[in-house]
Each structure stands twice: as C-alpha cells, then as structure tokens.
C-alpha cells in the first residue's frame, strides 16, 4: 500500500498578500508606484514635504512668524535668519512655513467640502434620472455659468467688513464654485455605473435606492472622486494666493500671496528673496499636486492602467 503523497508547500509568490506585514506591503506599493510613475512619485514627495511643513509648522519654524525684529530689517540670509527678513523684521522662512499651513488648509478643505457636496448631488441626480436629473442639471448649468472671480471678490469683500472667519469664508467660497464642475464629472461616472449588471441585479433583488447608491455606486466611483479632488487642489491654492495678492486674504495670517503682494512688490530690489521664495513655494506646491494627481489618475483609471506614459 502506497503512502499518500504529501502536498508540496506553495511557492512564496502564491502566498496570500494579507500574510505580509503591513509596512512591507506599503513599501512594495510605494516602490511599484515610483517605478511606474517617477514624475508622480516626485510630485508625491513634494506634496508630502509641504504637508509636513503645514502640520508641524510650530515645531519646524525657527521663529515666531509674527515677531518683529526692527533692528534686523531687510537683511539677507544669515545664521539667525536663513532666508532673511522683511521690512519689519519678520523671519521670511518662518512665514513661508506657516504660509504652507494656510494654503494647504484652504486648498484641501475647500476641495473636500466640494467633493462631498458634488458626490451627493451627482449620485442623486444621475441615479434618479428623469425630471429630477433634468431639473438638477439645469441648475448646475446656471451654477457653472457664474463668473467665479467676480463672485469671490464680492463675497470676500463683504465678509471682510464683518467679524466672520476669513479662512472659513474662503473655504466655503471655493467649495461653492468647484462643486458645480465636480458634479458634472462625477455624474457621468454614475450614469455608466447605473447601467451595470450588478446594479440591475441589486435592484431586482429588492434593494432600496439608498442602499444601492451607498453599497454599489459610491465604491465604484470613489477612485474618480479621489482623482478629481487631487487635481483640483492646485487650483484652490492658486486662487487663495491670487486673492491674497489682491488683498482679499485673511488679515494678519502669513500667506504666500500676501508676501508676494506686500513685501515682494515693494522691496524686490532691496531683498529679491521676498518675491522669489513665496513664488517658488506656490510653484512647487502646484507642480507637486498636478504631477501626483496625473499619476494617480493613470494608476486608478482602468482604461489607463496599460499605458506606460
């Protein structure tokens, strides 16, 4: 009588990925992303760098950004002030670090609010269809046609005369203007998902519309929501810098746009860094988000996963 053969152990690649430690899986994912999308990986590093500056600004900044040193006005880089000082002796490096907190807070928060609102409107509109979709989309058409810059300047000009929080006002204003555009993008994806067999099967099984939207539609459009939000953040950061440059930003808060407007224009010849450093921060932040967003789109979009570009 022959002895039963002992099954050979499975090779290492065939083992479940869930058995690998979480840090190893994260490193493998990051390494794969860096090999496939090197520019996107560089953009992700830029984004991570500015996020760290924003989160840990009080620990990283060498000086209080509001502290003045009148004896050290408009001096160049030194051991005490690595990037020099402005016309009242503020440390430029400290104000740049805290400016990252303001720009990222307004940019990310406004896009998060807009994405949440756009998702609700788009899912309800596209899944309902019929006259509900028509009414909502005609409202969205009028919403998109609004002049963005005029609305922003008018709204923030009114808010400045009150005791309201300007940062919160800018977040709500940017979110209001971006919601309409994001609604159109998300709605097109919902229409495609709505006609899939698994959605029809859930409807035939008696699932409620709310359950279908929550369990079947939202998980399938989440990658698109993430991509559109990541790509939209640079636009919000540029809008905040532009409005701060025009004098509609939060008063008393370090802002890259305000540094360009007040210090950069008036004292550019005396201290060129007052205009160069904030401009570079804005450029690198926008570039990083754009490169990371494009790479994220290529990775998460099933139609682009086979592309090497």
What's the burial of 249, exposed, middle or buried (CB within 10 Å: 0-12/13-18/19+)? buried
Q: Is 42 within the bounds of a domain?
A: no
Looking up residue 227, the CATH number of its domain turns out to be: 1.10.3720.10
- Per-residue model confidence as pLDDT tens for the chain (309 residues): 455 454 445 454 544 555 677 778 778 888 888 888 889 899 999 999 999 999 999 999 998 888 888 888 888 888 888 988 888 888 999 999 999 999 999 999 999 999 999 999 999 998 888 898 899 999 999 988 888 888 888 888 888 888 888 889 999 999 998 999 999 999 988 888 888 888 888 888 888 888 888 888 888 888 889 888 988 999 999 999 988 888 888 877 888 988 888 777 888 888 888 889 999 999 999 999 999 988 888 887 655 554 444
Number of domains observed in the structure of the chain = 1
Residue whose tokens read 């160069």: 276
Joined tokens for residue 157: 């000009």
Joined tokens for residue 114: 């807009």
Q: Is 300 within the bounds of a domain?
A: yes
Q: Is 189 within the bounds of a domain?
A: yes
Three-state DSSP class for residue 85? strand
Joined tokens for residue 206: 């008696």
Residue whose tokens read 């990037």: 83
Q: How far apart are CA 244 and CA 227, in angstroms?
A: 27
What value does the CA radius of gyration of the chain take, rounded to a whole number of Å? 25
Range of the structural domain that residue 126 is part of: 50-304
Q: Is 17 within the bounds of a domain?
A: no
């Amino acid at each position: 009588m022959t002895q039963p053969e002992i099954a050979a152990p499975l090779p290492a690649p065939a083992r479940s990925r869930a058995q690998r430690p979480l840090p190893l899986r994260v490193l493998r994912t990051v390494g794969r992303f860096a090999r496939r999308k090197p520019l996107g990986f560089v953009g992700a590093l830029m984004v991570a760098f500015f996020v760290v500056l924003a989160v840990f600004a009080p620990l990283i900044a060498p000086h209080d950004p509001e502290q003045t040193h009148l004896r050290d006005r408009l001096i160049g880089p030194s051991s005490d002030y690595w990037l020099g000082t402005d016309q009242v002796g503020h440390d430029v490096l400290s104000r740049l670090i805290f400016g990252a907190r303001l720009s990222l807070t307004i940019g990310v928060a406004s896009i998060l609010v807009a994405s949440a609102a756009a998702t609700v409107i788009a899912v309800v509109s596209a899944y309902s269809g019929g006259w509900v979709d028509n009414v909502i989309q005609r409202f969205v058409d009028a919403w998109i046609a609004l002049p963005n810059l005029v609305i922003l300047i008018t709204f923030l000009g009114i808010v400045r005369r009150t005791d309201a929080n300007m940062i919160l006002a800018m977040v709500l204003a940017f979110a209001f203007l971006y919601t309409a555009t994001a609604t159109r993008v998300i709605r097109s994806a919902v229409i495609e998902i709505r006609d899939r067999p698994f959605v029809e099967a859930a409807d035939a099984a008696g699932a409620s519309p709310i359950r279908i939207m929550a369990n079947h539609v939202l998980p399938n459009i989440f990658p698109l929501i993430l991509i559109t939000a990541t790509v939209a953040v640079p636009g919000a950061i540029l809008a905040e810098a532009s409005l701060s440059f025009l004098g509609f930003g939060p008063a008393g808060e370090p802002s890259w746009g305000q540094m360009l407007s007040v210090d950069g224009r008036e004292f550019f010849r005396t201290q060129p860094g007052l205009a160069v450093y904030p401009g570079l921060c804005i450029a690198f932040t926008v570039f990083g988000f754009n490169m990371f967003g494009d790479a994220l789109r290529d990775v998460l979009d099933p139609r682009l996963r086979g592309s090497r570009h």
